Amino acid sequence: MGFKFKGEGASTRGRAFLTFSPRSFLPAIPFLLIFGYFFLFPISRLIYVAFLSNENTLTFSNFVTAFQEPYRTGFINSIRIGLFSAGITAIPGAIAAYFIETRGPSKLRRTIAVMSGVLANTGGVPLAFMFTAAIGLQGQLTKALKAAGWDIYSGHFSLGTFTGLLIVYLYFQLPLMVIVFSPAIVSLRTEWIEAARNLGANQFNYWIRIGVPLLFPSFIASFLLLFASGFSAYATANALTVGNLPLTPLQIGGLLDGNVSAQQLNLGKALGVVMILISAMAVVPYLVIQRRAAKWQQR
């Protein structure tokens, strides 16, 4: 017979005390085992080890070092690149999502959805190549701009600098914004704009009183997710910089590879824990806002 389900009538009301009869969670065991072993266990171990000294005694010293130079600058740069790349793409991405979702024919919308999916996941060497080919020293756009009288390399610009990396990050952040913000646009009902007009609201009134308030939480949520994405991106930064730009993911990668040696063996773990905390500060509110918005979005 395999496993048996609880009877139809069994309600979940009786929450007074949680009775964990085997049946109530047995079928979830494969999931919990795999997820526990391959995710919860490594993360817990990471957190635990971050508090160990070289002699395996408990210590805070890894975290103390994690907030000193050069790691301090690494965090500042990573947070800045997360904030800037999200800040620059959020509004254009939202507007693009709005026009595509409200005015685009179905085939176009689906093509753009796929394209955004692919582009939001580009990174690393392929993305580095594309930008080197476009705005690298010998890039096509560089030449075109030079011919038009603007030499972007006349100053300190290079793709490996903060500004250069920021420009490259926009390439996956913008499609990501389109992806995460589109559902909010789709859930704006035509009935609302029609009802508003019927009640005497012009376009401006509608946006101020209804449209913007409804989209705003999703906008903030999307911004937070973009921040987390820019903050923790590794592959692209790794491909474009040569140790000249301190970023936390690169520093962790260096410590992991053994390319960079530190006095404290477990410093990389502490950096990882701090990264998780910062990322959680953005992603957790993102998840909470999405959940709330789902209340009116789903029907």
Partner 1 sequence: MSSKSLTLKNVTKKFGSVLALDNFNLEVGVGELVALLGPSGCGKTTALRVVAGLENQDSGNLYVGDKDLSETPAHKRNMGMVFQAYSLFPNLTVEENVAFGLQMRKVSKHERKKKAESLLELVGLPTQGQRFTYQLSGGQQQRVALARALAFEPEILLLDEPLSALDAQVRVNLREEIRRLQLSLGTTTLFVTHDQEEAMAISDRVGVMSHGQLEQIDTPDTLYNKPATSFVASFVGTMNRIPTQLSDGQVQLFGKNFPALKSSNESGSVIALIRPESIGITAGSQDHNAKVLTRLFMGASSNIVCQAIDGTIIQSLMSSNESGDLHPGSEVKLEVLNKEVLVTNA
Partner 2 sequence: MKRRIDIPLVATLSVLGFFVFIPMLSAFEFSIRTPLKGGYGWDQYIWAVTEEDFMHYILRSGWLAAVTVVITLLILVPTLTWLHLSQSKIRPLIDGLSLLPLVIPVVAFAVGAQISFPEFMQNTVLELPFLYFVLALPYAYRSLDIGLSSIPLKTLTEAARSTGANWLKTITAVIIPVIRGAVMATVALTFALSLGEYTLTVLLHWDTFPTWVTYVAQENLLGAIAISMMSLIIPFLVLTGLTLLAPERSAQRRK
Q: Which residues bind partner 1 (CB under 8 A)?
A: 189, 191-192, 194-202, 205, 209-210, 213-214, 295-296, 299
218 touches 290 (CB < 8 A): yes
Q: Which does 133 bind (CB under 5 to 8 A by kind): partner 2, partner 1, none?
A: partner 2
Largest CA distance in the chain: 77
Residue 192 engages partner 2 in binding (rule: CB under 8 A)? no
Of the two residues 142 and 219, which places its CB atom closer to partner 2 in the complex?
Answer: 142
* Radius of gyration, CA atoms only, the chain: 24
Shortest distance, CB of residue 206 to partner 1, whole angstroms? 9
Alpha-carbon gap, residue 261 to 71, rounded angstroms? 13
Of the two residues 14 and 149, which places its CB atom closer to partner 2 in the complex?
Answer: 14
Shortest distance, CB of residue 243 to partner 2, whole angstroms? 16
Residue 211 engages partner 2 in binding (rule: CB under 8 A)? no
Residue 145 engages partner 2 in binding (rule: CB under 8 A)? no
Alpha-carbon gap, residue 60 to 55, rounded angstroms? 13
H/E stretch holding 63 reads helix 61-66
Residue 24 engages partner 2 in binding (rule: CB under 8 A)? yes
Q: Which does 64 bind (CB under 5 to 8 A by kind): partner 2, partner 1, none?
A: none
Of the two residues 114 and 199, which places its CB atom closer to partner 2 in the complex?
Answer: 114
Alpha-carbon gap, residue 124 to 189, rounded angstroms? 39
Of the two residues 215 and 275, which places its CB atom closer to partner 2 in the complex?
Answer: 275
User: Binding residue for partner 2 (CB under 8 A) from 16, 55, 107, 154?
Assistant: 107
Alpha-carbon gap, residue 216 to 110, rounded angstroms? 24
Alpha-carbon gap, residue 213 to 228, rounded angstroms? 24
Q: Which does 213 bind (CB under 5 to 8 A by kind): partner 2, partner 1, none?
A: partner 1
Of the two residues 125 and 208, which places its CB atom closer to partner 2 in the complex?
Answer: 125
Alpha-carbon gap, residue 110 to 102, rounded angstroms? 13
